[in-house]
Every structure is written in C-alpha cells, then in structure tokens.
Amino acid sequence: MNRILITGALGQLGVEFIKYFKNLNLFVLATDIRECKKDISCEFIQCDVLEKNKISDLVKKNKIDTIFHLVATLSAKGEEDPFKSWKLNIDSLQTIIKICIKNKIKNVFWPSSIAVFGTDSELENVPQNPVLNPSSIYGITKLAGEKLIEYYNQKFSLDIRSLRYPGIISMSSKPGGGTTDYVMEMIDSAKNKKKYRCFLSKKTELPMMLIDDAIQSAYQLMSAKKSCLSVSSSYNISSFSITPEILKKQILLNGFEIDVEFRPDFRQQIANSWPKKISDTKAKSDWGWKAKYNMEESIRKSLNF
C-alpha cells in the first residue's frame, strides 16, 4: 500500500484518510465529482467515478496499487431517490472492480455499514453473521456490495476488504445525510448556542465511533496479513453506543448548554431497524482491533474540536 487512489475523497471519511496517509508520506491521488475548494495537501482530480476510462487512465498514469472506494449516497439522503442511490452505490463499485481487474490492482478498501442489519439481526448485540434484512435502500446497496466483494474476491483473486462502520463522528466536515448525523448536529448546536430539533426519539440507541478510530481501523485491517482474515465480506467493528438523551447529558456535563426538542421524522424508522450494539469479536481476534476512544472521550474531543 504505497500509491493510493481515494474516490469520494471530499466526503467525511475521504478528507481524514488523506490527512492520515499524507502523515505516513504515502502518495495519494484524490478524486470526487465535486469541485475541491480548499487545499487538501494532495493531488486532486475532479471527475465522476462512473467515468471508467478516465479513472482507469488515472490509475495507470499514477501507478496506483491500492484503492479506497468511498463513494456512496447515505441512508437518509438515499431515500429521496432510491434509483439514483442504487446506481451510484452499486455501479460505482462495479466500475472500480472492473478497473482493478484490468490494471491488476489487488488491494481495495470499501466501507460497508450497520445499515446492512435489520429487524431480524439480533439488534440488542448484533453478531458477525446474523440474518441481514435491511429496510433502507442504503442498507440494501451495502448488503449487495458485501456479496459482490465476497464473490469477486473468490472469482478474480482480488483482496477487497471492508468494515461495517457504525455512525461516525467527525466535526471537520458537514454531515452527509445519514441517520446518525444527529450526534454531530447536536454537538454543533451546543457549540454555537443554538436550539436543536432532534429527528430521533431521545431513547434511540445506536452504535457510534470517533473518526480517528474509523480511520485507524481501516488502516489496521488493510495492513493485516490476508492469512489472518476469516471474513471475506465485511467485518463488524464497534466502539460505543449512545442515545440522543445520553448525548445531551454528556454535552451538559462538559459545560455546554443545549436545548433539545425531540421530533422524530422518517429517519426514526430507519434507526429502529439498526442495532443498539455490535459484537466485533471477529475483528478483535483476527487482526487485533480495539477502539481507542470511548463515549466520554469522543464527545469531549468533538466539543473541543
């Protein structure tokens, strides 16, 4: 993993991966369909990931050996246009896989999500291999993607690795239309002394993770020996779980004032199909995963960002 292409590089994960890899003095080429309006400390090319020939040419020209494919329409945003969400989330993955086969790139990271789970997935503490019955188009595309990478890993001897990310807390970028975005929105409201209207009920428990752990977990997985990995689809990983009510209490305990009104909307139904906690014993045993930041540390660091 020396020369890395990041697609969807201007999103929540992408900007942090760029910082992380640049600190390791690795070559990074970033692409996104959006215009880059600030310095991101690496070469940036504006293009649509579905432009297969253009992406393939960039891979050849820059001698890319690893791809972090981060392009996706998230859960809440995806419900606005499920057909567009499917096209972007699945067709872009298929495009990247074709490019990898053509250019003999073996190493790919593709993030999955807790959205793959559903009401039959043992939501109190979801194991690695539960029943997967997602109810959102985002979750359906992530489940389809997991099956695709498992198939292509076997069919073409690729090495596509994946994590089922919980909600990710990152205060350096704006929320991207996910069901767990309330955490960042409430923290931002507290910092700016604004009232917050929460779109989930106060007792809705969902798994979360600080962006630092999200980035480190991916690097750790990608650095692990293939012989150590027993999961060819996507690994569960976990950090902590939280409710809007507990988040409010943590904000107050850190000396910030916040007035919260709870008015659940359509995102409540999505959240109800997601797990309260996630069992990540496979990730721990296979490649030594362990979150660095607990709930209190994550909220404190985010409030003081």
CA 160 from centroid of its chain's CA atoms: 15
Task: Tell me if 3 sits within 8 A of 42, measured CB to CB.
Answer: no
Cα angle vertex 275, ends 274, 276, to 5°? Answer: 125
- Residues designated catalytic: 138
- Give residues with Cβ within 8 angstroms of 82, minimum separation 6: 137
The Cα–Cα gap between 59 and 166 comes to: 30
The Cα–Cα gap between 253 and 245 comes to: 13
The three-state (H, E, C) secondary structure of the chain, written as one string: CCEEEEECCCCHHHHHHHHHHHHCCCEEEEEECCCCCCCCCCEEEECCCCCHHHHHHHHHHCCCCEEEECCCCCHHHHCCCHHHHHHHHHHHHHHHHHHHHHHCCCEEECCEEHHHCCCCCCCCCECCCCCCCCCCHHHHHHHHHHHHHHHHHHHCCCEEECEEECEEECCCCCCCCCCCCHHHHHHHHHHCCCCEEECCCCCCCEEEEEHHHHHHHHHHHHHCCHHHCCCCCCEECCCEEECHHHHHHHHHHCCCCCCEEECCCCHHHHHHCCCCCECCHHHHHHHCCCCCCCHHHHHHHHHCC
